[in-house]
Amino acid sequence: MERRKFGKKLFTLVISTTVFGGLLKKANAQTKDYDPSKHYYGMGIQTNKCIGCGRCVEACKDENNVPREPFFFRTWVERYTIKKDGEVTVQNVDSRITTQRENIFEKEILRSFFVPKLCNQCDNPPCVQVCPVGATFKTEDGIIIVDEERCIGCRYCIQACPYGARYIHPEKQTADKCTFCYHRITKELLPACVEVCPSQARIFGDLRSGASPLGRFKRLFKLHVLKPFLNTEPKVSYSDLDGEVR
């Protein structure tokens, strides 16, 4: 009886290791000489530099074949408006989205600012924990990937993500999200959103490298993450983050 239980556990371990290894191999296949063990990626965002132009959103859609409809995003930008009476209004900067827009008179505004948002590439990702088929997983270099060939479109990961960073692709019927443009960074290119930002509000780099732009960003600024109380340990950090941002 004990030998039978041991054999069953061993079989499960072998199958799990084979599947996970295959997913990692597929994720890292873009570049022959790329070694994921030598990297651990993150992103920094200087909110006081974001001008709300939306170029990052358009570049992301073009680069990653995100549906053109305005309610599908891998990254998006929110405009926060703080009124003098303390009321906070949050609007998506995409001009095609009209349902959430509100006319606010300038004399009523205390301050306003833009906040880019995306998948936070959590170190403790709830989306990975809830996926019943292992389609969502974390690579050795810290990126959360979705294997669309294994994804069954159950939406568990969408419900589990506290940052609203996932959606179901309307054609593929599988979960989709930001991957830091994994196909680009494994070729030593910047994510599309970082490359096109005219104000350099986004800083991408290796979290383990103190000499990288991201390392310098971490040294120079007091950083915050979104929803720190959830203990997801995000790898996207913000400087000059207003306390109203959620």
Cα angle 228, 174, 14 (rounded to 5 degrees) comes to: 80
**pLDDT at residue 220, as a whole number:** 92
Which segments of the chain have a pLDDT < 70?
1-31, 95-104
Rg for the chain, CA atoms, rounded: 20
| Full-model pTM | 0.83
> Please, what sign has the CA dihedral across residues 107, 108, 113, 117?
negative
**pLDDT at residue 212, as a whole number:** 87
DSSP state of 27: H
Strands 41-46 and 236-239: parallel
Tokens of 13: 């371990």
Beta bridge partners of 114: 79
| Contact (Cβ atoms closer than 8 angstroms) between residue 237 and residue 215 | no
**pLDDT at residue 13, as a whole number:** 39
**pLDDT at residue 31, as a whole number:** 65
**pLDDT at residue 29, as a whole number:** 47
Q: Which amino acid is at 79?
A: R
Tokens of 226: 């979104």
